[in-house]
Amino acid sequence: MHIVVCIKQVPDSAQIRVHPVTNTIMRQGVPTIINPYDLFALEEALRLRDKFGGEVTVLTMGPPTAVESLRKALTFGADRAVLLTDRYFAGSDTLATSFALSMALKKIGAEFGDPAIIFTGKQTIDGDTAQVGPGIAKRLDRNQLTYVSKIVETDLVNRTITVERRAEGGVQVLQSRFPVLITMLEATNEMRRGSVENALKAARAEVVTWNAEAVGIEDLTQCGLRGSPTIVKKVFAPGGRTDEVQLVDNEGNPEARANALIDAIFARSPDVEKDLFDQAAHHF
C-alpha cells in the first residue's frame, strides 16, 4: 500500500515574537517545526505501513529550507521524501497550495504508485484554515474523511477504511473506499522515535525535488500570489493585557467579601455599575 503524507514546515508558534516597534511578526531566528497535526498523520501512516507493508512518501511544498522537515520525517521512518519548491509558489494561499500539491500528488502517483491514502493534518498552526486537505481531495476527485480521530479498521481486500470522525456534538463512524484523503486530528497517537538505521538512512537520503514545471504546471497564474484570491488586509498583534490582578481581602464573612469584590469591580469599571443600576431600576 502506498501512502502519501503532506506535511508543512511552520514557524514554532510558541517562539514567535512581535517586533515591539513595527508590530510585525519577526520570523527571523524563529525555529521551524513540522506542523504538529501533520505528525499525527505521519505516525498513523507509518503504523499502517508497518502493519500492511508498502511505502510512505512525505510531500511538502515550501522554500528549499523545508527539506529539513522532510529529513526529519525520514528520520521518523518515512521511505521517501518529495520537495515541491519554486519561486512561483511564493505567497500561495490555500487555493493555490492545494492546486500545486494536487499536481505533485498526480506525479507521485505516476512515478511511485497511486496512493491508496493521502494524509494531511487537520490544519496548519500558521494558517489555521483547514482548507488544503479538502482542496486536494476535491481536485483529485477523492473521498475525504476530515477531522479523523481514530482509524478503526483497514480492509485491504475490499479496499475500505473505517474511521472515527469528530463532529459537532459527537463522534461519527465513517467508512470510505480507497483512494481516500484523510485529515488527522491532534493527540491521536504519539510520534515514534526512529531507529539508528532510520536516522542514518534519512541523513543520506536524496530528497526528490520538483519545481512547477516538473509536476506539469503550465498555467502559472494558478500558482503563488497570482493564483491566490485571498487578501490579507492587515496583520496586527493584539494588545497585551495591562491590567493588574487585584486581590480582594480574604477576611470577614462571605457577604462582606462579596461586597468588597463588587466595590472593587465598580471602582474599576463605573460603566458596569451604571448599567446594573439602570437594569435594576427598570425592573422596579
Nearer to another protein (CB atom), residue 229 or residue 238:
238
Footprint (CB under 8 A) of another protein, residues 31-50: 31
Alpha-carbon separation of residue 208 from 14, 92, 119, 227 (angstroms): 30, 21, 19, 25
* 254 part of the interface to another protein, by CB under 8 A: no
Figure out which of the listed residues 1, 24, 52, 75 binds another protein, where binding follows CB under 8 A: 75
* 25 part of the interface to another protein, by CB under 8 A: no
DSSP-derived pairing of the beta strands 32-34 and 9-11: antiparallel
* 239 part of the interface to another protein, by CB under 8 A: no
**Minimum CB–partner distance for residue 196 and another protein (Å):** 3
Distance CA 86, CA 252 (A): 69
Distance CA 132, CA 46 (A): 22
Binding mask 158-197 for another protein (x = CB under 8 A): -----------------------------------xxxxx
* 85 part of the interface to another protein, by CB under 8 A: no
Residue range at the interface with another protein (CB under 8 A); choices 15-23, 39-47, 81-89, 90-98: 15-23
Q: Are 19 and 26 in contact (CB under 8 A)?
A: yes
Q: For residue 18, with 0-12 CB atoms within 10 Å meaning exposed, 13-18 middle and 19 or more buried, which class applies?
A: middle
Binding mask 199-218 for another protein (x = CB under 8 A): xx--xx--------------
What is the binding site for another protein (CB under 8 A)?
A: 17, 20-21, 29, 31, 68, 75, 193-200, 203-204
